[in-house]
Amino acid sequence: MDKAINRQKVLLQHLNPSQSSSSTSLSASACLAGDSAAYHRTASFGDDVVIVAAYRTALCKAKRGGFKDTHADDLLAPVLKAVIEKTNLNPSEVGDIVVGSVLGGGSQRASECRMAAFYAGFPETVPVRTVNRQCSSGLQAVADVAAAIRAGFYDIGIGAGLESMTTNPMAWEGSVNPKVQMFEQAQNCLLPMGITSENVSNRFGVSRKEQDEAAVESHRRAAAATASGKFKDEIIPVLTKIVDPKTGEEKSVTISVDDGIRPNATLSDLAKLKPVFKKDGTTTAGNSSQVSDGAGAVLLMKRSIAIQKGLPILGVFRSFVAVGVDPAIMGVGPAAAIPVAVKAAGLELDDIDLFEINEAFASQFVYCRNKLGLDSQKINVNGGAMAIGHPLGATGARCVATLLHEMKRRGKDCRFGVISMCIGTGMGAAAVFERGDSVDELRNARKVDDLYLSKDAR
């Protein structure tokens, strides 16, 4: 009890203006009360990195879907343009554009991203670069921009993601260094992702039925979200073309709906599918993520700048981590990364209201969910990659848009959200976000049911 009372006294001192100051205004500073029921913030309120816009394209099946004849730069340009037009921001104020991309050739993809920025109306003075941390590249781009803003390199930036798996299929180019044979973990970096999925299911006992059930639920939720119009808040329609492969005839189309969702998916249907990677395995085309084309973009800035411009705040960037795991079971990455990211934000798992965990494979998704003891009603509430798709470099940006728009819809019932994914070669990434309108300048962490500042006093 004494401990809690002392903490209250410290907090009250922050609320009282200095006796020696002639100013009567209050200023926020880092609270020293040590409240473990709250998450800590070392930066001042106005220095928070916030998200004011987050949009994506629809995600379409590679080689067969709506973007099969769309150039990669034509996927990225519409979302870059959207974050500027919908916020009425002068594009010349953007300090950097960072684009996560995995499969596109290094210098070519970098050039395509620069070209897309010009299509979207950015002046030559705004720089562009790419980043590749495999499946977390889009989230890494957002984190890189947030870090640069915090470091004072610039006040406004865009983190984006792009992948055309139609144009750039997954393949190894050139020979493999024979030295890899001397290092088992290095060898395991070359394992097909499907084999790592089988390793997870075998090692941790994730059954075929559990995997198929997760896939059916993903499609059910995604279909329900589409039917109710939820994704309209985050999807930017893209005017493009479809070429008839038989006649060569071109037709103009506007793509605004994810085309890989199967509303009528059933367990009995999935049970008929044969394993893809091992004869006696459990990983099938039905319980794996879809190979997709798509893009997303997230506009970040200092809170003080957003307030100055009168922009509504969609979310607050709180923490990000990337961790390493055994390459042979790379799918366990989220189970390792999420607790670290949550702790870095000064939170506990029970504080998180929503999770977006990339469904690279049902095996790893089910394992991570069970390992962390997460409530399935909090995870991928609008479906995940098994239904919506997984355009590698764009997935992180897609998840930011999906998570923050859902948090906005839920309002006060949803304060904190987490995005996480596994990463090829054995890593995991996770980030914590806070709903944009849930923080006041005195930075109370959350409503409590008693008068104590900390649960330590209970």
**Residues designated as active site:** 135, 390, 422
Taking the alpha carbons at both ends of the chain, their separation in whole angstroms is 8
Q: What number of other Cβ atoms are within 10 A of residue 277's Cβ?
A: 18
Which tokens belong to 181? 């044979």
- Please, what is the Cα angle at 150 between 148 and 154, to 5 degrees? 50
Structure tokens at 84: 């500027």
| Tokens 């499946």 belong to residue | 135
269 and 70 Cβ atoms separated by less than 8 Å: no
Helix (H) or strand (E) holding 297, with range, is strand 292-302
The closest alpha carbon to 339, from 374, 379, 366, belongs to 374
How far, in Å, CA of 347 to CA of 92, rounded? 37
CA dist 336 and 277 (Å) reads 25
Q: How far apart are CA 169 and CA 166, in angstroms?
A: 6
Q: What SS3 class is residue 323?
A: strand
Tokens encoding 390: 């997984």
**Are residues 50 and 301 in contact, defined by beta-carbon separation less than 8 angstroms?**
yes
User: How far apart are the C-alpha atoms of 339 and 337, rounded to whole Å?
Assistant: 6
Listing DSSP states for 14-39 in one string gives HHSPPTT-S----------S--TTS-
